[in-house]
Amino acid sequence: MRISISQSDRRDLTFRIISLGFLISLLATMQPAHASSPVTWTKMEFVCNCTSIATSSDGSKVVVADDSGSLGGRIYTSANYGAAWTSRATNRLWSGLASSSDGTKLVATIKEGPIFTSTDSGANWTERASNRRWDSVASSSDGTKLVAGIEGGTLFTSSDSGMTWTQRESARNWTSVASSSDGTKLVAVARADQIFTSKDSGATWVARDSARLWRSVSSSSDGTRLAAAVYSSSNDSWIYLSSDSGATWVPRANDTSRYWQSVGMSGNGSKLVASSYQGTVYTSDDFGASWVSGNTIQNGSAVATSTDGNVFYVVGTLGAYLYTTATLAKPTPTASSKPTAPATPTSIATTTPQPSSTTSTNGKKASIGIKKITSKIYQLQIRNGTPNSRYTVIATKKGKNTYEYGGYTDPNGSATINVSANLAGYSAVVRMGYK
């Protein structure tokens, strides 16, 4: 039996099939493969009215700028994941910070002044460029190529670590800039203006997307994935994402009651963190498809991430505390110890993980190892745990302080915790599903 279909019916059927395919494709982009898991934040014992932050690629070296007082504040640096801080530079109205991958080369901008650079992790600073209303700055991984924006002015780039600068683009209210690792692909946003991208280290720029109240922008290592945040109370209060170096943008993480202030992403763009004014901090571990808060951090003004996305930093202006996923827990006093600071690690510490395990609440075995990273940093490595599950790690040593760390495993059931405590000779157990 043959079924005859008219020409008009064929066109209608083709249209329906195409429409159905488009709808399926659209729904696929709208529905994330999984919901992002919340991260555990630790409030650090560091108080400042901080407005900008930058970190080395591994997250161990951190630099923040304090903007308190009419004369501004100081720059502070840490070489141990924020466990201890050193005051640097002098009181100025610092506006932006950037760091090389190793944390050695730093650059800082001032709201009404010059640009300063450092080649010794912030110990000494050299004045660069001219006095302008510098608003933001970004750096290549080697600290050689820089880009900086001026509020009500143009963009400037440098290819010699800030010694000389070249004027770029047009005068706009630039609010944020970001760079790929090699400094070739750049992205910049301006308030009540568009997004601008460059693929030749800032020599030429292309306007992207629409005019919005852009506040912050971030880039993956290769410059392919980008994230841009809108500071607005309107229905346009989104974080926009791009996976084609800024050619097209997709809105994500809408929250009309928030003003997005800062956004950062890991080297491959899979993990993101964003802070908001009058709101909490949000994170994503699926390239921004889904976002989760699960914290009470208020008014975060700036964020920073390690390249692998395992370390997030947030600094705030109200309450002025530093938060980080590099969980540096305080020692818990025991009957045989005093609440003193951990001793300096000695040569007896081993770089080989010291395994131990425990049975979780769902019957799954999870392994835990302790590894020495540097003379001051140790690492707890969880493997074979329950995916996307809460964990508690307890590290003990007879006659010494007891340490406790908490967090969430990744989709593979793994987690890595960097700590500044001396864990030489300690044994650790991990419990899955514990509060």
- pLDDT tens for 127-158 read 999 999 999 999 999 999 999 999 999 999 99
As for how many domains the chain has, the answer is 2
Residue with tokens 């001032």: 110
Do both 311 and 373 map to the same domain?
no
Residue 24 main-chain phi, psi, to 5 deg:
-60, -45
Do both 395 and 283 map to the same domain?
no
- CB–CB of 78/86 below 8 Å? yes
Record the tokens describing residue 298, joined without a space: 């208020």
CB neighbour burial string for 76-113, b if at least 16 within 10 angstroms, e if fewer: bbbbbbbbebeebbeebbbbbbbbbbebbbbbbbbbeb
Give the model's confidence band at 5: pLDDT under 50 very low, under 70 low, under 90 confident, else very high.
very low
Residues 6+ apart with CB under 8 A from 417: 326, 327, 379, 380, 382, 393, 405, 407
Do both 184 and 301 map to the same domain?
yes
Q: Is the pLDDT of residue 338 over 60?
A: no
250-275 tens-digit pLDDT: 999 865 557 899 999 999 999 999 99
Percent of the chain with pLDDT over 70: 77
Distance CA 223, CA 31 (A): 25
In the predicted model, what is the mean pLDDT of the chain?
Answer: 81
Do both 291 and 391 map to the same domain?
no
CA atoms 129, 126, 186, 233: torsion sign: negative
With respect to residue 363, please indicate whether it lies within any of the assigned structural domains. Answer: yes
DSSP 262-304: EEEE-TTSS-EEEEEETS--EEESSTTSS-B--S----EEEEE
Do both 100 and 218 map to the same domain?
yes
Do both 100 and 181 map to the same domain?
yes
Q: Let me know the angle formed at the C-alpha of 424 by 418 and 426, rounded to the nearest 5 degrees.
A: 90
pLDDT of the residue at 382: 86
Do both 310 and 417 map to the same domain?
no
With respect to residue 392, please indicate whether it lies within any of the assigned structural domains. Answer: yes
Residue 9 main-chain phi, psi, to 5 deg:
-65, -35
* Beta pairing partners, 166: 157
| Residue 402 belongs to domain with CATH number | 2.60.40
With respect to residue 155, please indicate whether it lies within any of the assigned structural domains. Answer: yes
Helices (H) and strands (E) in the chain, counts: 1, 30
Give residue 425's domain range. 356-432
pLDDT of the residue at 372: 85
With respect to residue 35, please indicate whether it lies within any of the assigned structural domains. Answer: no
199-245 tens-digit pLDDT: 999 999 999 999 999 999 999 999 999 999 999 877 788 999 999 99
With respect to residue 343, please indicate whether it lies within any of the assigned structural domains. Answer: no
Q: Is the pLDDT of residue 1 over 80?
A: no
Distance CA 270, CA 47 (A): 30
Q: Which of 278, 300, 324 is the last residue of a domain?
A: 324
380-421 tens-digit pLDDT: 888 888 886 767 788 888 878 777 776 667 777 887 777 767
Do both 156 and 276 map to the same domain?
yes
Do both 49 and 155 map to the same domain?
yes
With respect to residue 335, please indicate whether it lies within any of the assigned structural domains. Answer: no
- Confirm whether pTM is higher than 0.75: no
Record the tokens describing residue 151, joined without a space: 């509020």
With respect to residue 237, please indicate whether it lies within any of the assigned structural domains. Answer: yes
| Residue 272 belongs to domain with CATH number | 2.130.10.10
Extended strands (E) in 48-118? 50-55, 62-66, 73-78, 86-92, 94-99, 106-110, 113-118
pLDDT of the residue at 256: 55
Do both 287 and 400 map to the same domain?
no
Do both 255 and 386 map to the same domain?
no
With respect to residue 414, please indicate whether it lies within any of the assigned structural domains. Answer: yes
Do both 304 and 365 map to the same domain?
no
